[in-house]
Structure formats: structure tokens, C-alpha cells
Amino acid sequence: MVDQAKANELAEYLGISGYGAVVNVDSASEIVLSTDGVGTKLLIAEHFNKFDTVGIDLVAMCANDILCLGARPHSFLDYYATGNLDLDKSKEILAGVLKGCELAGCKLVGGETAQLNPMFFKNSWFDLAGFIMGVVEQRLPSSPVMKGDYIVGIPSSGVHSNGFTTIRKKLDNWTEDLLTPTRIYTDEILNNLKYIKACAHITGGGIHGNLPRVLNGLDYAINLTLDSYWEDLKHKLDLTSEDMENTFNCGWGMLLICNRPEFLDIKGARVLGLLK
């Protein structure tokens, strides 16, 4: 399993705490920069020889992070490294990147393709990294988070792009639904900015590794009753509820903090808890 504690320690050493780096362009403008990858979900794609969705995952992991800072995705670059450059496979991967950019509302403006044969255990293997720039429309939080604020979940499309080291280690029979691409939340967040105090993209570290990042030290109570899909996954992986919540999104890919959840216009959103 991934050593999340070590990852957190390294981020603390680097002074990294937010979902992106805010850069002041001039007195009136800010941009947000972020980078991410797809992780070992790529090995599931290799297993099924299906590569049309991982590019969407790549854009989603970057775009969802900067949305947590109120930034509209603007420009995207990719880094594609492989042991052996298979053109058909590569075009399938990059078509997914283009689709992800379309869904996020940004443009693919450049990138790098690296052929690194000695660095891959199998020549067919590859890795992806993405780099995104967004333009701030409204800084979050729009007002301070407070005790009594609501935690609202926006549904995920599945496992997204985290927890696959655990899945690969513990799950004997993989199914193609694991390649369902990460949901991109551009419209849901940007169309509701004035009602959102803070939002947490649920990635590595699961619910409890991400939600506290935006709460300024406040405690919270949250109800994470699993639906049948997640309960089945928990059983197959033989994980405790705590391990599930610290590894996966458990059905909620983005968590919002707000004081008037009834004003949110987001299909499927649900109040899950309170700050205390």
C-alpha cells in the first residue's frame, strides 16, 4: 500500500499544503498552477489494453485541484514517457487528454513525449504527468469556514485515480469499470462559486486526508454510509471502514463547505455532515 504518511512528510518539507500554487500576475489578476499524474491506474489500462480514458483522468486530477481555489482551467500540458513508442496506443492516450481538456474547459497547449527504454520494466509501460494553469474567478473561501457549516458531497464517477496500489495488491479479479475516468467538476464548482466557502478534491489520502486541508483546524462530523458498489469493494479488499475512508473517495469526489446548501445547483449533491 502507498505510504501516505511519508508523502505528507515530504509535502510538509517542501512547504506544500494547498491544491495549487497561486501566482499574482499583476495587481488585479491571479493564476493557479498545479501538476499531477494518474498513478498505477495505468497498469489497469495495460491489463485491459484500453487507453482511451486515462488521458481524461490526467486532466481531471489537475483541473479538480485548481477548481478548489476558484480557478477556471485555461491551459494544459502533458508529459508522456514510455519505453516503446507505439503510435496507435499513444494516439489513443493523447485523444483522452484532448477529451479531458474539452470536459474541463481548457486547451492542450503543448507537452513532451519521452522514449525512455532503459527506465521501464516493460517496454510497453508508460507514465503520464499533467500541468495545468487556471485563471482565478473568485478566491475560495469566499468567507471563513465556521462551526455549523455544512459538508456537501458531489458524487464521484467511481474510484477515480487513487487507491490503485491497494486494488492491485488485494483484488484478484479486475473489472473494466475500474477504468471509468475521473469526474471533472468544472461546471459544478464555477457555477456555484458564490455559495461555496471551501472545497476539497478527494484524492490520495481519501476523505480524511483531504477534507481537513480546507477546514482551518476545525473538527467535523460526516456520515459516509457506503452504497452497494463501495460496500462490495470494501468487502473484496478486506478493508476496515477507516482504511476505506483514508484511501478512497467512497463515492464523493469533491466535498464542499457552505452555509446554505439549498442554494447549490448541483445534481446529486448531498449534505454529508457538519463542521464543529
What confidence tens digit (pLDDT) does each residue in 33-51 have?
Answer: 999 999 999 999 999 999 9
- 43 and 73 in one domain? yes
As given in the structure block, the three cell numbers for residue 35 are 501538476
The structure's pTM equals 0.91
In the beta sheet, which residues pair with residue 150? 258, 274
Number of domains observed in the structure of the chain: 2
What is the domain extent for residue 80? 4-136
Tell me the C-alpha to C-alpha distance, in Å, between residue 29 and each of 59, 195, 196. 23, 22, 21
Q: Is residue 141 part of a domain?
A: no
Residues 130 and 14 in one domain: yes
Domain match, 206 and 236 both:
yes
Residue pLDDT, tens place only, 221-247 = 999 999 999 999 999 999 999 999 999
Q: What is the pLDDT of residue 140?
A: 73
Each residue's pLDDT tens digit, 61-120:
999 999 999 999 999 999 999 999 999 999 999 999 999 999 999 999 999 999 998 888
Identify whether residues 39 and 123 lie together within a single domain: yes
Q: What is the pLDDT of residue 28?
A: 62
Please check whether residues 111 and 195 belong to one and the same domain: no
**Cell numbers that stand for 276 in this block:** 464543529
> Would you say 64 and 96 are in contact if contact means Cβ atoms under 8 Å apart?
no
What was the pLDDT predicted at 29? 76
* Most confident of the ranges 6-10, 22-26, 63-67: 63-67
In tens, the pLDDT along 132-181 reads 999 997 777 668 999 999 999 999 999 999 999 999 999 999 999 999 99
Rg (CA), the chain: 18
pLDDT higher than 60, residue 14:
no
Q: What is the CATH number of the domain that holds 90?
A: 3.30.1330.10
> How many Cα atoms occupy the beta-carbon half-sphere of 163 within 13 Å?
28
Q: At what angle do helices 54-67 and 87-104 cross, to 10 degrees?
A: 30
Q: Choose among 260, 189, 192, 251: nearest CA to 223.
A: 251
**Whether residue 186 sits in one domain with residue 217:** yes
Residues 99 and 175 in one domain: no
